[in-house]
Amino acid sequence: MLAATAAVAPALVREAQGESTSKLKVVITGGHPGDPEYGCGGTILRLTELGHEAVLLYLNQGEPVESAARIIGYRMEEAKKASAILKARPAYVGQIDGNAVVDQLHYVQFREIVEKENPNVVFTHWPIDNHADHRAISMLVYDAWLHMRKQFSLFYYEVSNGEDTQQFTPSDYVDISAIEPKKRLACYAHASQAPDKCYALQDAVARWRGIESGHTRAEAFIRHFQSPRFGLPV
């Protein structure tokens, strides 16, 4: 746990860029299995290859409650495969696909999950998004961040721009050119979710963010200005 944000910020920057062996905890939240992988799979891999610990925390299992258990099981197997490729651990909040609840009870339940993980850095959906599950987890993360006294670095990511994420203007970029094939594998591990269509859109965004930042491909983020500085791999 970070005690004082200003004091620890330089160390975090050095550690994230591989200048230290100390391990950081990174939690990447998403409305559904696949969202963290599509939005920031390259960045997750770059962080885990530096030795940092990553948890993919999904709001739900990707299927509505009336789905057969075998379908839910299939989605969870896909998430397990994707997480393994990114050297991350999958975890679930336990809400229902398409029926996200944001109220006081769920704020408290979610905060307890985040406090238990005790992250240095959290990624979540940008809140202006057409999918209610994405907006929900963004609000849950923000509330946890406030109640935990803004102790972890908070980054927002983009996914399925135009269809989901809207009006996203990045503050940070991560070069994913070299590890894009592994990111692609992680996204395609979600074989039931039309990866040909979804990945084509996300890859177009990665190429555009690459043009903006001077790379072949990049992932882009918005860091909350009041959260501790964290040096993403450049």
Residues that bind Zn ion (CB under 5 A): 31-32, 35
Q: Which is nearer to Zn ion, 120 or 160 (CB)?
A: 160
Q: Which is nearer to Zn ion, 32 or 106 (CB)?
A: 32
Q: Report which residue's Cβ sits closest to Zn ion.
A: 32
Asked whether 88 and 56 are in contact (CB, 8 A), the reply is: yes
Q: Which is nearer to Zn ion, 32 or 183 (CB)?
A: 32
Phi-psi category of residue 30: left, alpha or beta, with phi > 0 → left and psi -120 to 50 → alpha:
beta
Q: Distance between alpha carbon 1 and the CA centroid of its chain, in Å?
A: 19
Asked whether 171 and 221 are in contact (CB, 8 A), the reply is: yes
Asked whether 218 and 175 are in contact (CB, 8 A), the reply is: yes
Rounded to a whole number, what is the distance in angstroms from the first to the last CA of the chain? 24
Q: Which is nearer to Zn ion, 130 or 226 (CB)?
A: 130
Q: What is the CA radius of gyration of the chain?
A: 16
Q: Which is nearer to Zn ion, 2 or 140 (CB)?
A: 140
- β-pairing, 121-125 with 153-157? parallel
Min CB(160)–Zn ion separation in Å: 8
If residue 53 lies in a helix (H) or strand (E), which one and from where to where? strand 53-60
Min CB(129)–Zn ion separation in Å: 9
Min CB(166)–Zn ion separation in Å: 14
Angle between helices 35-49 and 180-188 (to 10 degrees): 140
Min CB(226)–Zn ion separation in Å: 26
Min CB(210)–Zn ion separation in Å: 23
